[in-house]
């Protein structure tokens, strides 16, 4: 249904749109707009080596559709806070609005877990989700993550603190 690939310079517009979407700032750690220049540099300077960068950003693509052979970009999935010593990393995912609630996020998380297990030899993946974000909580639960730790006043939206939950997944070959 979907596949994951490395970020390319041609993804600059997608990255710019996602990173500057204020609706997403309350579910992540971004709270300032990013310029095209900064994002261009990020893409250009990324080594593509998770051991060097301590993160990897992958583009989620839907294979060629009926009208064209070109793949359709669905979203982005990241491994951040990579900890090779303890063999774990944090997961974040953004699906573009027209493609939400179609199973693409769940499939992307499954493929990411396979990659993390088979290639990176990770033991755990985790995500921090605002307790009010029931859609993301449901996604992680149905993707095999367990709600493990409540985090009181963990996220701040500029006006209010929000509780969050740490979702944890022990990864194994599927």
**pLDDT per position as a tens digit, 126-149:** 999 999 999 999 999 999 999 989
Tens-place pLDDT, residues 56-98: 999 999 985 455 568 899 999 999 999 999 999 999 999 999 9
CA distance 144 to 63: 25
CA distance 54 to 1: 28
Confidence of residue 173 (pLDDT cuts 50, 70, 90): low
What is the model's pLDDT at position 29?
A: 56
Confidence of residue 43 (pLDDT cuts 50, 70, 90): confident
Rounded to the nearest integer, the mean pLDDT of the chain is: 87
What is the model's pLDDT at position 159?
A: 84
What is the model's pLDDT at position 24?
A: 62
Residue-by-residue DSSP string for 60-129? EEEPP-SS-SS-EEEEEEEEEEEETTTTEEEEEEEE-GGGTTSSHHHHHHHHHHHHHHHTS--SEEEEEE
């Amino acid at each position: 249904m979907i596949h994951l690939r490395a970020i390319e310079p041609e993804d600059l517009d997608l990255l710019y749109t996602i990173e500057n979407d204020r609706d997403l700032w309350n579910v992540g750690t971004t709270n300032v707009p990013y310029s095209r220049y900064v994002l261009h540099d990020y893409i250009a300077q990324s080594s593509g080596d998770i051991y060097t960068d301590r993160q990897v950003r992958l583009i989620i693509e839907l294979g060629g559709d009926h009208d064209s052979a070109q793949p359709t970009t669905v979203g982005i999935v990241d491994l951040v806070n990579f900890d090779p010593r303890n063999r774990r990393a944090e997961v974040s995912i953004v699906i573009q609005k027209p493609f939400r609630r179609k199973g693409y996020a769940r499939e992307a998380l499954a493929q990411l877990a396979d990659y993390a297990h088979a290639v990176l030899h990770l033991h755990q993946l985790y995500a921090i989700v605002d307790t009010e974000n029931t859609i993301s909580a449901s996604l992680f639960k149905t993707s095999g993550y367990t709600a493990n730790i409540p985090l009181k006043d963990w996220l701040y939206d500029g006006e209010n603190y929000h509780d969050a939950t740490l979702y944890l997944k022990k990864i194994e070959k599927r």
